[in-house]
Structure 1
Amino acid sequence: MMSPTCTNIRVRTARDAEIIFHAVRIGILPMVVQRLGSEERMALCSGCVYVWEERSGSLSESMEQGIERFTEGRSWGPSRARDDFLFYHEKDTAPKSLMVERTRAIRYQEDPVGASAMRPRRRGEHMIKQTYSVFVRPTDGMNFKKWHLNAYWTQEDLDQLLTVDDFTELRSLDVPPNTYLCARTNRMRETIGRSARGNTFPTPPRLYTNGPGLSLAPLELLEECRRLRRDPTDEVILRSFNVHRNFHRN
């Protein structure tokens, strides 16, 4: 059975997430390389953290690594953003979640010792999913990769969970700066879009020549300018032209 990336741990900040990402990258912690099977879904409990790579779709499914969509067999409410994280509260009355909990209860009754990780939740407990996504800066000239971190916990267990500071091999990690770039940043998404078109690293804005003596600004620069307000004096002059033109039409 495939294990989570780490267990009995909570992710407090983006720094904690980057430490876990880096531990995966250098081989200290495992990456989840396939969708969870039925046994792995049953074993998911408070404190489980999964790091997985998103399949980009640029190669055929048989050649490409990564997971297209991570599923754990539970039903979640809408996302709520806080800092760079997204949080989802489980719908404990949804059919999928109820089925998982019933199966966990049966397994635990059959083998309380062997299925200790499958202890059914106490009444009133609600599972919370916390996600964080980054683009991983390449070191081999290839394109950026998109990694995700999924952390699961209940409010009742949160204070009992460990942190990266409680693990010697994690708290001593030196994460290179600008290696894990938050995917929720608009500017970062634009950078990765350019990377996917063949430029591994971002390039400064430049003018594109279209014939002798004519230069065109890049589209992203024009879109940025479009959001800026005109000078008030220019607004008055433009309105005067519109009034003059409408007068002659009438």
Structure 2
Amino acid sequence: MQHAATGSSTLYPDAQPYFGVVENTVQALRLVQAAWLGVVPRIIRRLNDTERKEKIVSGAVFIFGVDESGMKRWTDGRLWSPSRIDGNFLVYREMDRKGDGMSKFDRFEEWTPGDDGRAVSSTQEQRQGRFWQSGTTAAENRTANKFKADGLVKKTITVKINGSDHHLICYYTQQDLYMGRFKPMSTRSDIMGLDLSPHIFCFTDFRLPPRLEKGPDGLSTIV
């Protein structure tokens, strides 16, 4: 019998997975730290076909350590567009070779920096309506395959914690995001209550490292 795909700590036997959207790098750091500690479950092996169908849904978030799982890449059996950069994330759109069109929630445009020079997350822009356009982009016109109607978006990031690479993969539909169907991370006190210590992370591989501030005690915190 195949062992369970998820693992957690004996300190948190009732650890619950995070369900929602990972909007920015700081949220990703919180989730990776939570998974590393066992507050949320980690993926410790590849999902089989049945598990993929059951678990890869809008709002699902998966986190795995390369060393622990033995996996260097995440595979889900779906067809995806080329990646697009969203700050420290890579974002993919689900494709459908047999699709015949896109819904109004499937318009997608290239990521651009915010007005203040900092990264604006794709989720923020989608809520503001900047990802829903009246026409298709030039990139879409050059693509033989079309986005799958009401298909998933996949958002990924790699975080190095205590010297070990951890991959985070978040799935959602633009419609679910636009309609506000996900609870914010602030509702998870078990995750938000963790001390997010900069010294356990390595930020050198990030395009846009998180901002650090020194407190009155002289210690740096991630903001």
1:14 aligns with 2:25: yes
TM-score between the two structures when normalised by the length of structure 1: 0.53
Structure 2 partner of 1:72 = 76
Structure 2 partner of 1:134 = 159
| Contact kept in structure 1, 2:45 and 2:69, CA below 8 Å | no
1:146 aligns with 2:165: yes
1:42-89 alpha-carbon deviations (Å, 9 max, x no partner): 01100000001225xxxxxxxx74313211110111000011111000
Structure 1 partner of 2:132 = none
More strand by share: 2
More helix by share: 1
| Contact kept in structure 2, 1:90 and 1:127, CA below 8 Å | yes
The letter of the residue matching 1:179 is I
1:49 aligns with 2:68: no
Query: Aligned partners of 1:136, 1:7: CA distance in 2, in Å?
Result: 19
SS of aligned partner of 1:134: strand
1:162 aligns with 2:194: no
| Contact kept in structure 1, 2:5 and 2:46, CA below 8 Å | no
Query: Aligned partners of 2:97, 2:52: CA distance in 1, in Å?
Result: 17
Query: Aligned partners of 1:70, 1:51: CA distance in 2, in Å?
Result: 10
1:18-61 alpha-carbon deviations (Å, 9 max, x no partner): 11111111111111011110111101100000001225xxxxxx
Query: Aligned partners of 1:182, 1:81: CA distance in 2, in Å?
Result: 17
Structure 1 partner of 2:128 = none
| Contact kept in structure 1, 2:6 and 2:44, CA below 8 Å | no
| Contact kept in structure 2, 1:11 and 1:163, CA below 8 Å | no
Structure 2 partner of 1:172 = 193
Query: Aligned partners of 1:151, 1:45: CA distance in 2, in Å?
Result: 10
The letter of the residue matching 1:45 is V
SS of aligned partner of 1:12: coil
Structure 2 partner of 1:221 = none
Structure 1 partner of 2:107 = none
Q: RMSD between aligned alpha carbons?
A: 2.7
SS of aligned partner of 2:43: coil
The letter of the residue matching 2:90 is L
Query: Aligned partners of 1:29, 1:183: CA distance in 2, in Å?
Result: 25
- The one of the two structures with greater contact order (alpha-carbon pairs below 8 A, sep at least 6) is 2
| Contact kept in structure 2, 1:89 and 1:126, CA below 8 Å | yes
TM-score between the two structures when normalised by the length of structure 2: 0.59
| Contact kept in structure 1, 2:32 and 2:159, CA below 8 Å | no
Q: Which has the larger radius of gyration?
A: 1
Structure 1 partner of 2:5 = 2
Structure 1: gaps spanning 5 or more residues: 56-63, 96-122, 138-143, 189-250
1:167-190 alpha-carbon deviations (Å, 9 max, x no partner): 11112121111323346438x9xx
Q: After TM superposition, where is structure 1 displaced by more than 6 Å over at least 4 residues in a row? A: none
Structure 2 partner of 1:91 = 95
The alignment covers a number of residue pairs equal to 147
SS of aligned partner of 1:178: helix
Query: Aligned partners of 1:149, 1:75: CA distance in 2, in Å?
Result: 19
Query: Aligned partners of 1:22, 1:148: CA distance in 2, in Å?
Result: 12
Query: Aligned partners of 1:173, 1:185: CA distance in 2, in Å?
Result: 22
1:72-128 alpha-carbon deviations (Å, 9 max, x no partner): 110111000011111000112379xxxxxxxxxxxxxxxxxxxxxxxxxxx830210
| Contact kept in structure 2, 1:52 and 1:66, CA below 8 Å | no
The letter of the residue matching 2:189 is T
| Contact kept in structure 1, 2:150 and 2:174, CA below 8 Å | yes
SS of aligned partner of 2:175: coil
Structure 2: gaps spanning 5 or more residues: 8-15, 100-147, 210-223
